[in-house]
Chains A and B, each alone.
Chain A
Amino acid sequence: MRKLTTSMCAAGLLALIATAPASAATVDDVIAEGKAVYMGKSRGNCISCHQINDPDANLPGNQGPPMVAMAQRFPDKRLLRAQIWDASKTNPITIMPPLGKHWILSEEEIDAVVEYIYQF
């Protein structure tokens, strides 16, 4: 338990450091980055488990629900972000990796993928 707490603090710290520099990225840049995170095997690899109605989504898996009606289903974007940051919080045995908690993605990458899926 102590180890876990330490790791979570470390993740928080990392987030602080990472978000410090102001970024001048446009909305389009953020969405393009989010898409790259979604499709990238060594990044989010969301495509391996979630269908999404993007013509570039090739051979999606179906371990998780499809990314549809996101804005309606997640009026509070923070809840969507929290699901991606640590899916095991709501379901301890979920197959979905804790992308933020385990430093698989940076905080900006998570923000970007949230913006990307929020369009669908």
Chain B
Amino acid sequence: MRIIKNLTIGMSLIMGSQLVAAAGSGTTLDTVNPEADRMALRSYYQSRFPDSELSDYVNGIYAVDADSRSQWEELEEFPPYEFDVEEGERLFNTPFANGKGYADCFENGGIGIRQNFPYWNKEQGTVKTLEQEINECRENNGEAPLKWGKGAIAKVSAYMAWTSRGKVFDIKIPEGDKEALAAYLDGKEFFYTKRGQLNLSCSNCHLQGSNIRIRADLAGPALGHPSHFPVFRSKWGELGTLHRRYKGCHQDSRSKPLDMQSTTFRNLEFFQTYMSNGLVVNGPGSRK
């Protein structure tokens, strides 16, 4: 019928007791405690799926659902992202017109650094994502930016993730930095707030609804969400970035989705990746 755009963005964070526990600490700058949130989310999943290892949450739904796991394991025998990683490596190593390359823009020549993204950039007062810095690198060297979402940017990002496999996510919120904390809180709020014509929050499907069927789809657990991105999704038939997925899921609540790399999506990535601290990078991944 009618798409209700902003009308229905319910701002309150009303939660049932079990989910309050999963959400951890408070929802104001004075009460929010990211580390408490992270521990609460981990224990929520530990008690809900006692047979799943925490370290396995990097595998999304496959950590908690045995049936889809076996299909996925077959898929991973000939990983569908293999060519994309090779292509990403080639793109990564192809010099720009000015002779410089991606390696010149990143710490350690861009190798093995995926686990440090996204990070809080104090000077710019904003969260920076890997894809964002890939494009900044291009623009600073006189190249046109790539389109967010898929194609070359996803391939370069996939190669960079590949070189970082097994490294542990360690997202930092600098002590006493209220602005960084506010960015985290914004992401947390976005995750728990109901919105759109269907009145759905991310947490409706990815906390409450983890491993419960919506028709034939199973929403995976929120813990570990960003670990394996970019992802080769069979439904897409190609590689896509985390923000492409955010956009799709945001749209599923029948909202007008935010833009990829918008401030709020970057804050959401900051929140979600902080939640995944202690898990390893295992991108790129493959999903149904």
Task: Report which A residues bind B (CB closer than 8 A).
Answer: 3-4, 7, 45, 47-49, 59-63, 88, 91-93, 95, 97-98, 102-106
Contact = CB atoms under 8 A, between A and B. Distances in A.
Given A93-B204, A95-B200, A97-B197, A102 B215 contact: no
A61 B14 contact: no
Nearest to B205: A95
Contact of A3 (B7, B19, B200): B7
A102 B196 CA distance: 9
Contacts of B208: 93, 95
Looking at chain B's contact residues, is the secondary structure mostly helix, strand, loop, or mixed?
Answer: loop
Nearest to B217: A61
12 contacts: A3-B7, A48-B215, A62-B212, A95-B209, A97-B197, A97-B199, A98-B199, A102-B197, A102-B199, A103-B2, A104-B198, A105-B1
Contacts of B97: none
Given A4-B7, A93-B208, A105-B1, 14 more contacts: A4-B8, A49-B214, A59-B215, A60-B213, A61-B212, A63-B214, A91-B16, A93-B16, A95-B205, A95-B209, A97-B200, A98-B199, A102-B4, A103-B2
Interface of B: 1-2, 4, 7-8, 14-16, 19, 194, 197-201, 204-205, 208-209, 212-217
B154 to A, nearest CB: 29
Contacts of A95: 200, 204-205, 208-209
Contacts of B204: 93, 95
A60 B217 CA distance: 10
A7 B213 contact: no
Contacts of B201: 93
B1 A47 contact: no
Given A60-B215, A62-B212, A102-B8, A93 B1 contact: no
A63 B19 contact: no
A59 B198 CA distance: 21
